[in-house]
Amino acid sequence: MNPMVDMAFLLVSFFMMTTTFKPELPEEIQIPSSTSEIKMPENDICTITISENGVVYFGIDNKFQRQRMLDIVGNQYNFSFTEREKEIFALQTVFGTSVGSLSDYLNAREASVPFVQTGIPMGEQNELRAWLLAARMANPRMRFAVNADRRVKYPMIHDLFELLRDLNITRFNLVTDTKVVHASAN
Amino acid sequence: MLPPIDEIEVDRIHGTNDASRKAEKREVNVDMNPMVDLAFLLLTFFMLATTFSNPQVMELLVPAKPDADDAQQETPVKESRTMSLVLFQEKIVWYRGITDPEHFDISYDDTRLIGFLSAANKGTDGLVVLIKPLPESNYENLVTVLDALNNSGVQRYALDEPNEYDLNLSMQNP
């Protein structure tokens, strides 16, 4: 039995070291496919997720930068968060609520109570803009990725691209699955 | 769940008195099953929780918004070098130039799209493709077209807003 146990522990340590946890999205996103072979960067990455129904979620990869980002946005909208709320916020890989209901969301998360996220407002009061700016302030090397469901209607995508352009983010990534096309470019 | 402590046996097999205990090598039997159970439990957990393949990304460069005092505004392009792709939900309508163009349909089939675009690219020196997604089109349509453009060697392409002509097209072809 010993060789098997050795093997099992080897695999356990391997998975423990290589694992990156899936971001816990409340909705399933079906991303489109492309033949691009560029891998998604692992750090300095800020992801804007749009679900099929047009709900916008936002997330950055670094836990410490999340807290800094929250401080910046909180200051801007005159919302103060308790230390506990900041700690919980730092653990959220992705979230999608307005700044106003963020506190309720974080408390619901702490109590493990279900909370329906309605998305980050992108209309008249463009909070996504504030988050994007804060993400870049928290990490000037931040790269941006758009992780949109393939069924999202174009006007929404157009608004997002225009917002990114407006913030001088002219290079960004579109997250896609791999697909193989059986034809040469000739 | 871990088994109760009395199940973990430590047996002394050889030796009954102190002298022989010291002299002889003792054999210790530890029940390893719980540990193995735990190891496999962890193994299963990490195997399921891990994302192995990081998703792919397609890089997109968009032009910066021109400043009001920017000397260089939009660069004009020869009409004969442009090709417009108007994205519908199920098909693409394409036409060349802007003055009274003849328009054709093409489907969102990757192979056909790549073949068509690379042929057009070879036939025209410095082809400029204008992508005009209609409001009814979705994100996947856009990604399919961008991917086909990347794979067919077209050097210049731009996302554009559909003009009145394109919007009329969508009225004609429901």
Long-range Cβ pairs for the range B112-115 (8 Å, 24+):
B113/B144, B113/B145, B113/B148, B113/B152, B114/A181, B114/A183, B114/A185, B114/B148, B114/B151, B114/B152, B115/A183, B115/B152
B78-B82-B85 Cα angle (round to 5): 160
Q: Does residue B60 lie in a domain region?
A: no
In a shared domain, residues B102 and B167: yes
Residue B85 and residue B24 share a domain: no
Q: Please report, rounded to a whole number, the percentage of residues in chain A having pLDDT higher than 70.
A: 96
For residue B139, tell me if it sits in a domain.
Answer: yes
Across the interface, do B57 and A148 touch by the CB < 8 Å criterion? no
The ipTM (two decimal places) reads 0.83
H/E segment holding residue B107: strand B104-107
For A91-139, write each residue's pLDDT tens digit. Answer: 998 999 999 999 999 999 999 888 999 999 988 889 999 999 999 999 9
- Inter-chain touch A34–B146, beta carbons under 8 Å: yes
Same domain for B19 and B97, yes or no, is no
Q: What is the pTM of this model?
A: 0.79
Determine, for residues B63 and A165 on separate chains, whether the beta-carbon distance falls below 8 Å.
Answer: yes
Statement to judge: residues B84 and B45 lie in one domain:
no
Nearest chain B Cα to A21, which residue?
A: B50
Contact with chain A for residue B142, Cβ under 8 A: yes
Q: Count of domains in chain B?
A: 2
CB contact under 8 A, A38 and B141: no
Q: Cβ–Cβ of A22/B150 closer than 8 Å? A: no
Average pLDDT, integer, range A160-180: 91
| Interval A158-168 mean pLDDT | 93
Interface of A with B in 25-64 (CB under 8 A): 31-42, 50
Structural domain including B94 reads 79-172
B152 & B101 share domain: yes
Per-residue pLDDT of chain B (174 residues; tens, 9 = 90+): 665 655 455 444 544 555 555 556 778 888 888 888 888 898 888 888 776 667 889 988 888 887 766 666 667 788 888 888 999 988 898 988 877 778 888 988 888 899 999 998 888 888 899 999 999 999 999 999 999 999 988 888 989 888 888 888 877 765
Question: Are residues B106 and B37 part of one domain?
Answer: no
- B39:A34 CB<8 A: no
Q: Could you tell me if B44 and B120 lie in one domain?
A: no
Q: In the structure, what pLDDT confidence band is assigned to residue A146 with cuts at 50, 70 and 90?
A: very high
Looking at the structure, tell me whether residues B83 and B168 fall in a common domain: yes
pLDDT at A130: 94
What pLDDT was estimated at residue B141? 93
Best CA proximity match to A145, nearest among A42, A66, A75: A42
CB-hemisphere CA count at 13 Å for A102? Answer: 29
Nearest chain B residue to A155 by CA distance is B135
Tell me the shortest Cα–Cα distance from A72 to chain B, in angstroms.
25
Domain presence at residue B97: yes
Same domain, B43 and B99: no
Interface size A-B, in CB pairs within 8 Å, comes to 166
Distance from CA of B141 to the nearest CA of A (A): 8
| Statement to judge: residues B104 and B154 lie in one domain | yes
Helical segments of chain A, H only: 2-18, 63-77, 83-90, 99-110, 127-138, 154-166
